[in-house]
Amino acid sequence: MDWSEYDAVLFDLDGVVTPTAEVHMHAWAAMFNDFLEARSAAEGTDLAPYTDQDYFDHVDGKPRYDGVRAFLASRDITLPEGSPDDPPTAETVGGLGNRKNAAFAQILETEGVVAYPGSVALLDVLRDRGMPMAVVSSSRNAPAVIAAAGLEDYFAFVMHGGLAAELGLAGKPAPDTFSHAAQVLGASDERSVVLEDALSGVAAGHAGGFGLVIGVDRGAGEAALRGAGADVVVPDLADLVDGGVA
């Protein structure tokens, strides 16, 4: 890596910097499978259970309620939209999204989170170089995760799902949130690096014409990440340090 070719580095959070993607996966699985079991019992149907592949295909990297809509559509289920203020008990898109978020928040509070060592190693290298860095996450929980992991000092800006909604920015796979973060850091898209583990996030970086899109393979698969537009795929960010940093 020759970091001198770039003016900013934009990190997805869950699955790239912190292992919270696994927490999200477990929270989504618990919520959707409980929902599907209850719906199957009420309607006398046999709905296929939610799987890890559903996470990668429909949920991973997307804003919370977009993930709910996409998964429900995959099962031909239609629910009222509701709103982000719906209680977790509501049988609406907003209610299901908030039900998942309650499960995630509980796990985060009880178990905490520790960043990937390889990711911290890269963050240290980039900070020593004076490289402007931002987090660009679809999750509204990103600030809480960053605080829990003790990473606040690394990032000059945090774009999270709540802020994106306030600003009216389209979520991944649209490139808007990445572009906004680059602008805040004083960089152009063409001179910014995107690091993503989700297909939707890689697709966003590719669609925005960013200078370099690095896919981090935490389970999506190298072929799928490259197919979504990754220029480089690594299994861990330590590879960007150990491989040599110019």
Task: Please report, for the domain that includes residue 174, its CATH number.
Answer: 3.40.50.1000
Other CB atoms within 10 Å distance of the CB of residue 146: 23
Q: Does pLDDT of 74 surpass 90?
A: yes
Average pLDDT, the chain: 94
Long-range contacts of 32-36 (CB under 8 A, 24+ apart): 32/71, 32/96, 32/100, 35/96, 35/99, 36/75
- Of 75, 92, 111, the last residue of a domain is 111
Local confidence band at 243 (pLDDT 50, 70, 90 cut-offs): low
SS3 140: coil
Q: Does pLDDT of 90 surpass 90?
A: yes
- Of 96, 111, 126, the last residue of a domain is 111
Among 108, 105, 106, 100, residue whose Cα is nearest residue 35: 100
Same domain, 35 and 106: yes
Looking at residue 57, its pLDDT comes to 92
Same domain, 207 and 136: yes
Answer with the residue of higher pLDDT: 23 or 199: 199
Same domain, 97 and 132: no
Cα separation, 245 vs 235, in Å, equals 17
Cα separation, 149 vs 172, in Å, equals 24
Q: Does pLDDT of 97 surpass 50?
A: yes
Kindly report the backbone phi and psi dihedral angles of residue 212, in degrees, each rounded to the nearest multiple of 5, phi listed first. Answer: -155, 130
Q: Give 146-190 pLDDT, tens digit per residue.
A: 998 999 999 999 999 999 999 999 999 999 999 999 999 999 999
Same domain, 82 and 203: no
176 part of the active site: no
Contacts of 153 (CB under 8 A, 6+ apart): none
Same domain, 125 and 233: yes
As a residue count, the chain comes to: 246
Q: Does pLDDT of 11 surpass 80?
A: yes
Same domain, 144 and 170: yes
7, 12, 60, 217: the catalytic one is 12
Same domain, 107 and 181: no
**In which region does residue 219 sit, left (phi positive, over 0), alpha (psi from -120 to 50) or beta (all else)?**
left
Same domain, 9 and 127: yes
Same domain, 99 and 30: yes
Same domain, 93 and 178: no
Q: Does pLDDT of 245 surpass 50?
A: no
Expressed as residue numbers, the domain containing 150 is 3-19+114-242
Looking at residue 111, its pLDDT comes to 81
Contact between 84 and 65 (Cβ < 8 Å): yes
Cα separation, 110 vs 229, in Å, equals 37
Contacts of 63 (CB under 8 A, 6+ apart): 138, 161, 164, 165, 171, 172
Please give the average per-residue pLDDT across 135-146, as a whole number.
93
Q: What percent of the chain has pLDDT over 70?
A: 98
Among 136, 140, 137, residue whose Cα is nearest residue 94: 140
Q: Does pLDDT of 8 surpass 70?
A: yes
Same domain, 44 and 143: no
Residue 194, H or E segment = strand 192-196
52 part of the active site: no
2, 7, 14, 85: the catalytic one is 14
Q: Does pLDDT of 60 surpass 70?
A: yes
- Of 111, 135, 159, the last residue of a domain is 111
Same domain, 136 and 226: yes
Looking at residue 242, its pLDDT comes to 62
Looking at residue 203, its pLDDT comes to 97
Looking at residue 244, its pLDDT comes to 46
Total domains present in the chain: 2
Cα separation, 213 vs 231, in Å, equals 5
